[in-house]
Each structure stands twice: as structure tokens, then as C-alpha cells.
Structure 1
């Protein structure tokens, strides 16, 4: 909790500094460069928030606050026309970010994390004394040797148990072969005529059967009868159209899917909150002093508010198209994953999915709660 509170205060302070800087004349003059710079900082800080919080459900509200701040500072444009241009430039940057920048930054962050682990290991070696470092190295070697011996011992015990089981099976089979008092070559003929009558339970199967055998087998006794139905099943499985839908989507990598949906959901929430945000600044014009600092008159706020409302349906259509583009570009199995989520929700063990005790631990640590609630 203290970690969340500290990061929240830091994030609020950062957004207040951005708003204060947007009041300056330099920001209005170079607003196009400032928007690009803020987007770059937003992507970097978004990954930092996830690393610090280790939970996407906690970092998403902070990312939404950053999106609202990025929309607010566009009021720093010189006039309404520049405000419209700033909006469409920000929209283009957002589309480029979803398609290309997010994947590049994710790869870069993973590379930096791998390098940081090696750097921390070297740092520990430098800070500690030489003798302590050698002792730690020898202790690690001894631990590895103990682990190796333990694994070899477990494998030997497992192999011994398997050999004993095989021996018991062979002994049981030999004992069963000699239960009959003859060698198996004797022929017994009964004088009772009733023995030649077929019983009702002796049904003859006239269905076609095929014999599947190995060319290397010389004995006819080793031939295996195979039913025609089994062959038909094998033939049908070769057709891709008859294969069932992949229900084991949980094993696949779903982190890109969840990250894509999370970014789309955060931007959609910002889209719906933005008119309310503008209305609050408009109603409390004298109390907030934000609009007056931007040089926007009270009567001009009607145009800003109407634009934020009218743009919502068009923005949703654009987001849908670009979500499909992201799915096609990264070859994400979105529909398979949604079918799997529908099946998992229908077969949930608890009415509220947050109370389930079997989360999907195969996804990243920061996405476990989000995947559980999907």
C-alpha cells in the first residue's frame, strides 16, 4: 500500500508539472513537438509504472490520468484550429504507438532488464570483498553439486522401481501361463452334442475388418485387427476443417493480447471521461483558473465541449479498425482467446471471478489479476 501511495503522489506531481509547463508561451509555440515528447514520456513512464507496481490493474488508472493530462495540454494551442490539429496529430501518434512503438519498447525493456541482472551480479561482486566473493562462488558450486547428486539419486530410484514393476509383471504372466495343467498342445473333445450349439451370446461380427501389421513381423499371431471405424477417424483427422477449436489457448502466450486490450480499454475510458473533464473546467472556470491560463474565454468552451462529445463515435470506429490492424500485424489469436474466455466464464467455479482460487499463472505476474477477471 505504501508503494502504491508513493507512486501515486509521484505520478500526480509529474502530471501537475506538465500542466504548469503547458501554460507557458514556449509550449504553445512548439506544441507539435511537445505532444510528441509527452507521448514518448508517457510510453516510458507506463512501463516504469508496471515494473514498480507489478500489477496492471493498479497501473491502468494512472495511465488513464496520463491520457487525460495529454488531452488537457492541447488546450495550450494558440486557437481552436491549432487545437484540432493537435488532436489529430495526437491521434496519429497513438495509432503508430499501438502498431509499432509498443512492441519496440517492450523488446527494449526486456533487453535492459536482462542486462541489469548481469550488472547487479557484477555490482555484488565488486562491493563484496574478494574472499567473500570466492566463498560465495564455492558455495554455489557445492549447492549445484548437491542438486546434481540429488537428481541422479532420484532418477536411479525411479529406474529401480520401474525395473521391479516390470519384473513383477513378467512373473505374474509366467504364473498365469502354467495355471492350466497341460502344455497347451492337448486337444479335448466333448461327447456332449450341446457343446456344438451356438449360445445366444455368441454373435458373429460380419463387419469388415482390416489387418494392420508390420512387414518385419513373420508370425501371423502378431497381426493386429483394426476396425474400419478407427481408420475412418484417422482419415477425418487429417482434414483441417474437421479439427476441433484449440481449447488449450491458455498454454499460448497471451501477454500481447492482454496488453493490446488494456491499451484499447484505457484509451476508450479517456475518450468518455474527457467531456466530463472539460465540463468541470468550464463550470468551475473561476475556481480552477485552468482555462484562463490557456487564454480560453467562457463562451468559447462550448466549441471544445461539443467537439469532445461529437468525436466519440468516430473515435470508436477508428479504434475498432486499428485494433483489427494490430491483430493482423502481430498475428494475435484474438478470436480463439475470446472463445476460450467465454468458455472459462461459463464454467467458472465462483459467481464472482475475483474469488476464484485457480488463476492462470502462465501469464506475466502483472497480468494475472487482469486475466482472471476477463
Structure 2
């Protein structure tokens, strides 16, 4: 599940990381970024003419310290975004996952918002200047006040068509930029059960809705057929404008949640158009081995990225153990950053335990980033 809003309230131990990732090469801000590709054998990421191996080490930049989404301040407080990207870069990250709200980017079912597209282009230029790649997650409906009434009134086929218009416009804007790591079709899409549903959104947490259905009624289709059709339609919309940048979809690992089953969106049938596998993992206390076993189910012959991670249900040491044990078959990990540095957190309220613990996590993230830079043979 997605627990962004509560992360800054969680206990985080001071960490000491040692041998987690074999290599995470962070481009210096004065060097041009090179497009990320999948290796010829389709099992890991590379970049540049020399096919230098690339491992993702990044943060979700999903909201600020006050819970505001990026589009709620990136036009009037652009300096804040610039400062945050500088801080993220200083932490040693090489990737930033952003979450684009559908309602901000679409004025009508078939009409993208030109101002939002221009602001996205501005963000791309900032990423290039900062030496940071972007994981661009789309179709978000996190704040209901941004969801147009016409959107929920659309039928499933028309909703998908409008989503495809969104992706076509975003891909057209992003295609020229080497700062794009990937397009993530939707954060944690799900399907209905046996009975029809009435609401497209679920998973409310702190006033935000991080989970979204792609259909309300299975009808006479299988769940695999629905997922396959949706993934294909969204991917084709992107490929209509951009044939190079990678495409994925970040999912809840139901195999981990239920302890059984198999991937749906990243199965061989459904995930064929996708370039790599992205899953969101929060290991349980005392169950690191179980989490590793579940993560291995998502080894499908493609690069594998843990697109969300945090010591939400386990200790920090256990999360480190999870990262270390998964490093043999995983190609990236993405944590979180909410717009406040360790120093700012400490100075804002020195007696605030949550701030102090989060500051310790950021210190640890930076120290670990510095200790990880070594070259894969």
C-alpha cells in the first residue's frame, strides 16, 4: 500500500549502511545526462555509448512538508522546486519520482492544459541542469478537488481515451529530454472484484487517494484481459510520441500482501509492452526473508525497481537488510523526500521527535550515497 502522508511521522533509526548496492553512478550537474536504456539482454539499465550500468537510487517527490502536491505550488513557488532539486541532488540521489495530477493537465477529455505542459517542460530543464533523472508517474487523482466532474462521468472506454490523450501530450513534451528515466502509467492501479464498483478511487490516506481503479466492472472479461488492454492503450499513446524512453507501471505487490499469487500487471501477458518492473515494498517486522521471497516473484526477465520503500512496518535495520539481500537481482530503489533538509527539520522544532528521526534518515541517505559510488567490473 501507499503510505506517503504518514512517513514523516514514523520512527526512523539512525542508519549505518555499508554494502547495499554495487554501483549507483550519480552524474555531476555540469555533465549532460545520457538517456537510460535497457541492456541488450533486457535484464538491467545502461546509459551512454559505453553501456555504463545504471542503478536507480532516488526519492519520491510526491508532496511537500505541508502535504501540498507539486502542481499546487510549482507555478507560484518555483524557487522552492529549484531549491528542493538542489537538496535532492546534494543527498546523492540520481532520480526523482514526480506524480502528475490528471485534472491539472487536462482541461477537457480531449484537451490538455497548455500551461501545465509548459511547466512540465520547465521541470525537465531543471532536472537536466541538476543532473537528475525523472520517473514521471501520471494520471494521478490524489486530491479530489483537482478531479473534474466530467472525468468521473466518462464511461470506461472514454475514460481510457482521455487518459491516452494525457499520456500522448506528456510524452510529446518529454520526448526531447534525456532527463526522463521513465513513464509510470499510473500509481498502483487496481481492478474491481466480482461485484461492480461505483468509485474510481480508493486507498484514502490523510485526504489523498493513492490507489485508482482502471475499471468499475469486470463484466464478461478476465482481469488479465482488462489489464492487458489498458496497458497496451496507454503504452501505445506514449509510443505515438516517444519511442525511446522507458515505460512501466508501479504496483502494489499483492504477492507480498497476501503471501501467495502471481503478478498481474507485470505478468508475461499483461506486461509485454513494459520495459521494466516497478513494485512498492514495505517489509513487515521480522519478515525480511518473506519480503525477499515475494520480491523474487517479480523477477520476470526484466530490470526490477523497488519504486517505493520506507521502514514503515519494519525497523530501519531490517529495511537495510531487505535492500542488501535484494541487491543481487534488483536494479534500483526509490525512497522519499518532502521538501525539508535534515538541518531544516532540526531547526524547525528541535524537540519534535518525528523531525529528528526524519533528519537522521536524510543524513543516512546522504552518507550512504557517498559510500556507494564504486564501479561495477
TM-score when scaled to structure 2? 0.28
Higher relative contact order (CA 8 A, sep 6+): 2
Q: Which has the larger radius of gyration?
A: 1
